[in-house]
Copies of this chain bind each other. A is one copy, B any other.
Amino acid sequence: MRVLILGGDGYLGWPTAMDFAAAGHECCVADNYLRRHIAEATDSEALMVAPSLTERAQIFRAASGYHIDVRIGDLSDPEVMFEIVRDFSPDTIIHYAEQPSAPYSMRGFREAQETFQNNLNVTFNCIWAVKDLVPDCQIVKLGTMGEYGTPNIDIEEGWIEIEHKGRKDTFLFPRAAGSLYHTTKVLDTDLLWFYVRTYGLRVTDLMQGPVYGISTEEADLDPRLCPHFHYDDIFGTLVNRFLVQAVAGVPLTVYGGGGQTRGYLNLRDTLQCVRLAAGNPAKRGELRIFNQLTEIFTVNEVAERVKTVGDKMGLDVAIKSIPNPRKEKEEHYYNPTHSGLRELGLIPHYMTDDVVAATLERIIANKDRIVTGRIMPRVRWN
């Protein structure tokens, strides 16, 4: 396959690129370092320093022998998107190129506008580049389980048959997200679905839960290949943030009641899922949706899990509820279906004590790099 990874510098984009390259695919990453710039501007830098994409590609080549093509450019500019797609001529595009922080998107007008315009314009340009230049190319788009919000009914995989007043039809599953960032992904899905059914594009939209972890086959080849590992309130996902707090001796900050329930997955499973989706493309005119998660936990369960393992390692972990900076239900029904990727062959890496301990060890080795001022929430929804 000729795989173009949009957002190839990201927490998921970079290990995905190495994973595809190591599997023998022609691989190109495109990014404009938006996330790095936002991290600098908001004092939210990752735990380990990452070399530039060009340098990482060189390090990866030296360590593994595999080549990754690197393009630096702003994909929200249609000229940049069209030039890269024309030049690389992919048969598979993995689209990660979105501003991924919910708190950042809720910080104020400027940040909301930046998120809204970047995310929607990249998706729009991607659709048009495929439609006009490589119409048979599949798009694998990273959505989020957050698109669905927390409805009081079972969450199906993207679609639902509704019976209403004696008649039936099938529709996109209802969506109601909890931040502007998540809402941009709802709009992405609407936009993709319009162009899929109108022009016969082939799209897989992956509704992914919060990802945790730092280790992948390729990332472990050299510490400089490590994905951006964020523990701050802006980019840090829940599990990663708790793990760093455990090491730093900062009580695990549970937002509000801690009953918020989500479906999580290991970084290694993100790579598996994306590779499975790309290896089994959607048909022309199909918007295929998978719910991408392996285990369901409440925030309190995640905190307890980290505490149990951390305490065994002598970290003496405390847990502390703080006022919830977000607007979200803290007790709710949550039952998402997630069988599609299992049926394609996904073998989950669960959040075992060993997995938690191994990640804690990596963080302990970088303990002196932790800046505790980045941990507490700096953005409120209201």
A325 within 8 A of B: no
CB-nearest residue of chain B to A150: B169
Most buried by B among A78, A124, A333: A124
A175:B190 contact, CB within 8 angstroms: yes
Given contacts A132-B109, A154-B167, A164-B154, contact A186 B177 (CB under 8 A): no
Please tell me which stretch of A91-99, A192-200, A204-212, A338-346 contacts chain B, meaning at least 4 of its Cβ atoms lie within 8 angstroms of it. Answer: A192-200
* A318 at interface, CB cutoff 8 A: no
User: Smallest distance from the beta carbon of A178 to chain B beta carbons, Å?
Assistant: 8
Q: How many copies does the complex hold?
A: 2
Q: How far is the CA of A117 from the CA of B176 in the complex (A)?
A: 22
A153–B169 CB distance below 8 A: yes
For residues 83 through 120 of chain A, which have their beta carbon under 8 Å from a beta carbon of chain B? 109, 112-113, 116-117, 120
Per-residue CB contact flags for chain A residues 111-139 toward chain B (1 = under 8 Å, else 0) read: 01100110011001000100010000000
Shortest CB distance A123–B (Å) = 10
Q: Which of B128, B172, B183, B198 is in CB contact (< 8 Å) with A109?
A: B128
Q: Give residues 135-165 of A contacting B (CB, 8 Å).
A: 151-154, 160, 162-165
The answer to whether B169 touches A164, judged by C-beta atoms less than 8 angstroms apart, is no
Q: How far is the CB of A245 from chain B (nearest CB, A)?
A: 27
Interface string of A177-190 (1 = CB under 8 A from B): 10010010011001
A171: chain B residues within 8 A (beta carbon): 151, 174, 176
- Are A109 and B78 also in contact (CB < 8 A) when A160-B162, A191-B187 are? yes
Asked if A333 and B167 sit within 8 Å, CB to CB, the answer is: yes
- Is the beta-carbon distance between B152 and A167 smaller than 8 angstroms? yes
The reply to whether the CB of A352 lies closer than 8 angstroms to some CB of chain B is no
- 1/0 contact string of A319-354 vs chain B (CB within 8 Å): 000000001000001000000000000000000000
Encode contact with B along A344-382: 1 for CB under 8 Å, 0 otherwise. 000000000000000000000000000000000000011
Which B residues touch A187, using CB under 8 A? 187, 190-191
Contact of A78 among B113, B128, B160, B165 (CB under 8 A): B113
- CB atoms of A153 and B164 under 8 A apart: yes
Give every chain B residue within 8 A of A186 (Cβ-Cβ).
Answer: 190, 194
- Is the pair A169, B198 in contact by a Cβ cutoff of 8 Å? no
Tell whether, in the assembled complex, residue A172 and residue B169 are in contact, meaning their CB atoms are under 8 Å apart. no
Interface string of A59-84 (1 = CB under 8 A from B): 00000000000000000001000000
- Residues in chain B near residue A197, CB distance under 8 A: 176
B176 and A183 contacting across the interface, CB-CB below 8 Å: no
A176, B153: Cβ atoms closer than 8 Å: no
The interface residues of chain B lying within 8 Å CB-to-CB of A198 are 327, 381-382
Chain B residues with CB under 8 A of A78? 109, 113
Q: Is the CB of A183 within 8 A of B194?
A: yes
On chain B, the residues within 8 Å of A199 by CB distance are 382
A-B contacts, 16 of them at CB < 8 A, read A78-B109, A112-B128, A151-B169, A151-B171, A152-B167, A152-B169, A153-B167, A153-B169, A154-B164, A162-B174, A171-B174, A172-B174, A176-B197, A177-B194, A180-B194, A187-B187
8 extra interchain contacts, Cβ-Cβ under 8 A, other than A198-B381, A199-B382? A112-B128, A113-B128, A151-B171, A160-B162, A167-B333, A171-B176, A186-B194, A198-B382
